[in-house]
Structure 1
Amino acid sequence: MTKQHGQSSLTFTWNGSKISARPGDTVAAALLRAGITTLARSRKLHRPLGYSGSYPTGVLARVNGRPNVRLDQIAVSDGMVVEMQNTWPSPRFDLLKMAQLLPAKAVYGGFEHSEWMPQSGLAYKIAERIMANLAGVASPADEALNPQLIPGERIAVDTLVVGGGPAGIAEANRRAREGGTVALVTRGDETARFAKAMGVEVEELDSSVLLFTGMELFGVYREGRLLVAAPHDNKRGAVIFDPAHTVLATGRRSMPPMVRGNHVPGVMDAQAALQLAAVHGVKPGGRVVVVGTGAEKAVAERLRVLGVNVVHHGAVSDLTEIVGRKRVSMVRMKTDIACDTVVHAGPWRVDPSLGFQSSAEGLYQMLANPLPEWISVTGDAALGNDPIHALKNHHPDTLICPCMDVTAGELYCHIDEGETDPEVLKRLTSCGMGTCQGFPCWEHMLALLAARTDTSPDQYARPTHRAPRRSITVAQAAGLAALVDPDR
């Protein structure tokens, strides 16, 4: 660690190059401050991906020999070694980028086309290995890490509140005043990150509430009677909750614009942009365009207060294309606007994963039922979903699932042949089967399907949202084995 102008500075390496960071920086924030926007590559065509707030694949990298670490959730430590994944033979000299020269149709459905693959013998083994590399399989963790079981814990409470925004804090405080034991789980390092970044005053959390920060609730089991959360820090153990009542205060997330170029580095949601500017002092871009469904003006004004150069704000429905390859360079709206960043503030949608897991039943395809009486929803999560602006004919290169390279054109091929079951579309294309676990990708797939067939997205059953909805390490999972009796 060095001292610069009286302020501590950290140094880490990114693909072999030294990068400076400030204490408290996430790796993603430090890289963006250094002008590095491409942090990952898509699975099939190796398109550049970056910090978006929407697609976890865009921030997955190898950190100190451990693969698939989210760079927006891990703080920089001095001497940390960070490398891009999904490259060959090395991040600095990546021949897999040549896959971008392939037409999108060449990889519809993935690399598993039977006519491409030998059926047996040595040729099959060689082809399988080649396809695995092309498909972006991360190298295993370094053997020197020698992972050990990380003990977890099991906690019984009267009320578990999932979500640390203003609504979650208010509900936790109300329940605590009533005299019950209350726990609150939030993925943020502190409560109400988005509200505070917007300059909103937030009430203090009652000191009696058990607070679990930096932790993601990833699974709901046994009809919502048992819930499990894993911390982002892989050195901490996971936690099983036995609540008498659970309150989902998970809020809503902004959906990326469903236009060509929505995956390009420089496209990010309002939460990510405000977190960068308000917490890390990193401007999301030099020329920023904000689009949305009503909140764009407030977000633009707040970004300007934080020193960000916002050159335009307007309705997301006016946006027709985002132009750029390695970084956003322009947006097409009623007029073309030069910019390097697009921040979206709507349409706002609820991540349905936890509610689905608590109520769904079925075999081939799980179907959602009403929530059990011991689970309730509050705050923005109770407001429902904004409609997604979808057209009958999107440009075929519009990405619906960037991490798996699923385009509108690929989905149209199946829809136009009469396939309208979202579960089947998912299995045919791999849409939503990456680290996003179907959100926001299935929101876009359903909107696209409905627009193409002149129907409503609500008439289609969702694909199955299975646990875990976010990552948990094998060491953390092993630490829970003695805490849960088998469900016979």
Structure 2
Amino acid sequence: MEQNNRQIEVTFLWNGTPVTGRSGDSVAAALWRAGITTLARSRKVHRPLGYSGSYPTGVLARVNGRPNVRIDQVAVEAGLVVEMQNTWPSPRFDLLRLAQALPPKLVYGGFEHGAWMPKSGLAYRLAERAMANLAGVARPADTSLAATAVAGERLDVDCLVVGGGPAGIAEANRHAERGGTVALVTRGDSLARFASSMGATLEILDPRVRLFPGMELFGAYRDGALMVGAPHDNRRGAVAFVPRKTVLATGRRSIPPMVRGSQLPGVLDAYAALQLAAVHRVMAGQRVAVVGTGAEMDIAEKLAALGVDVVHRGPVAELSEIMGRRRVTGIRAGTQIRCDAVVHAGPWRADPSLGFQASGEGMFQVQAHPLPQSFSIVGAAARGDERIHAARHVHPDTLVCPCMDVTAGELYCHIDAGETDPEVLKRLTSCGMGTCQGFPCWENMLALLAARIGVEPEMFARPTHRPPRRSITVAQAAGLAALVEPDQ
């Protein structure tokens, strides 16, 4: 791994053990540099999860007594105390990992089997506590963390641009040149991180555009007339945007391959792998395989230029298995290839959450309709989605939703019994109901369902994308109370 000795070293605690990071590192990047790749455990079977760029659960940890903090969005600080969640009695000695030995069907649908639960008394309280431990929610925030409201902001703008890539920058500049008020929201701390990592020449953002970096737009309300965002730094207040026009320049993300082992630490999307190598000077692995739908050659070439040893590059459709128990040890793609990391670059799909929330109507199952006229989609997000490669018989141990531990086998149990409504499958299995909020889990669920019964994925209505699509703290939400008028 490459080193940058000009950066200041910072020491923090991971599960009680000192770890040295560098100024500018995220906690996840610092841990990866230190060789620590298992950062979290899945909900039911406690499989190892890590930094992937795809599944938020893999980077959720307890930070300074606050649970469920994304450590890929937290900068290292001296004295920071970070602990793995969903372990018992401790991260160093986690007995819950024994759940991996359970027969898979025993935990389909979760541990909350009503027939098993005592009905009252001490037995019920103990069982409820056990269920909370198994679900990873037994330890609330430290009582010293007072939920004091963080003052929010309300901002009326002519144009709100969502996404800080080249298309978002260009669109924001175009509207600023017309003399209107423009705000640009991006989840990155800097603009166009992926394009910069690939060496693209970037347009300078017009100084008249108000930039909101490190912020997630988590909800579209009132047909998109109200868009609300929360900064990753929970010490900063949320912002309620009231735009006359909204431009979605959210780009596309690579969907994890639907093969056994795709959730293992060491499987990263192209964005995450390039961020590690180009920004943090941390290699994804010692021997890296790159797969994709056409972009794998360019991604592999860029990673190699940054010092990554790329041992395989090829179509994702040829990938049949990712091997390993605690992390990646190899792949099968026609032949067996030894590697310790897999980078996927496609199929590329846009997260539909915000557009769905702005246009959806209904009660039990919200249906998406055409976007309001005040909305437009530009850049990569407007190019359409690539098809996901899904075999009719995916290995039943393949995780479709690592956040909620939903496997292909669990979905097959319901599909083969005749249940083909994606909304019902979601409710039966909890697929997509974790921190990912359905993306990319529902992409793979719909592809798996369609392949199993021999139809096209487009014939199915998507499950309901409801806000918030990403986390917001109680304190941030409270800070918006006086800024948003309630519906009448």
The structural deviation recorded for 1:7 is 4.6
| Structure 1 residue matching 2:196: 3-state secondary structure | helix
Matched, 1:447 2:480: no
| Structure 2 residue matching 1:98: 3-state secondary structure | helix
Alignment of 1:22-421 (within 5 A): 22-421=22-421
Provide the rounded CA distance (Å) in 2 between the counterparts of 1:5 and 1:170: 36
Moved more, 440-449 or 125-134: 125-134
| Structure 2 residue matching 1:484: 3-state secondary structure | coil
Provide the rounded CA distance (Å) in 2 between the counterparts of 1:57 and 1:330: 23
| Structure 2 residue matching 1:144: 3-state secondary structure | coil
| Structure 2 residue matching 1:342: 3-state secondary structure | strand
Matching residue's letter, 2:342: V
What CA deviation, in whole Å up to 9, does each residue of 1:33-58 have, x standing for no partner? Answer: 00000000000000000000000000
- Aligned-residue CA RMSD (Å): 1.0
Q: Which runs of 5+ in 1 are unaligned?
A: none
| Structure 1 residue matching 2:331: 3-state secondary structure | strand
The structural deviation recorded for 1:118 is 1.9
Matched, 1:9 2:2: no
What CA deviation, in whole Å up to 9, does each residue of 1:9-51 have, x standing for no partner? Answer: 1000100111001101000000000000000000000000000
Does the Cα contact within 8 Å between 1:85 and 1:138 map onto a contact in 2?
no
| Structure 1 residue matching 2:403: 3-state secondary structure | helix
Please give the TM-score of this superposition, normalised by the length of structure 2: 0.98
The structural deviation recorded for 1:346 is 0.1
| Structure 2 residue matching 1:299: 3-state secondary structure | helix
Provide the rounded CA distance (Å) in 2 between the counterparts of 1:123 and 1:63: 32
The structural deviation recorded for 1:6 is 6.3
Moved more, 27-36 or 107-116: 107-116
The structural deviation recorded for 1:201 is 1.0
The structural deviation recorded for 1:125 is 2.2
Matching residue's letter, 2:69: V
Matching residue's letter, 1:9: E
Does the Cα contact within 8 Å between 2:129 and 2:138 map onto a contact in 1?
no
Provide the rounded CA distance (Å) in 2 between the counterparts of 1:243 and 1:134: 43
The structural deviation recorded for 1:119 is 2.6
The structural deviation recorded for 1:122 is 2.8
The structural deviation recorded for 1:124 is 2.0
The structural deviation recorded for 1:274 is 0.1
Please give the TM-score of this superposition, normalised by the length of structure 1: 0.98
Does the Cα contact within 8 Å between 1:118 and 1:124 map onto a contact in 2?
yes
Provide the rounded CA distance (Å) in 2 between the counterparts of 1:456 and 1:82: 44
Provide the rounded CA distance (Å) in 2 between the counterparts of 1:9 and 1:119: 54
Provide the rounded CA distance (Å) in 2 between the counterparts of 1:253 and 1:8: 32
| Structure 2 residue matching 1:328: 3-state secondary structure | coil
What CA deviation, in whole Å up to 9, does each residue of 1:125-162 have, x standing for no partner? Answer: 22121111112115111111223110000001100000
| Structure 1 residue matching 2:423: 3-state secondary structure | helix
| Structure 2 residue matching 1:29: 3-state secondary structure | helix
What CA deviation, in whole Å up to 9, does each residue of 1:222-274 have, x standing for no partner? Answer: 00000000000010000010110000000000000000000000001000000
Deviation beyond 6 Å, 4+ runs, structure 1: none
Does the Cα contact within 8 Å between 1:225 and 1:242 map onto a contact in 2?
yes
Does the Cα contact within 8 Å between 1:432 and 1:439 map onto a contact in 2?
yes
Provide the rounded CA distance (Å) in 2 between the counterparts of 1:5 and 1:484: 48
Provide the rounded CA distance (Å) in 2 between the counterparts of 1:170 and 1:229: 21
Identity of aligned residues (%): 72
Provide the rounded CA distance (Å) in 2 between the counterparts of 1:184 and 1:228: 13
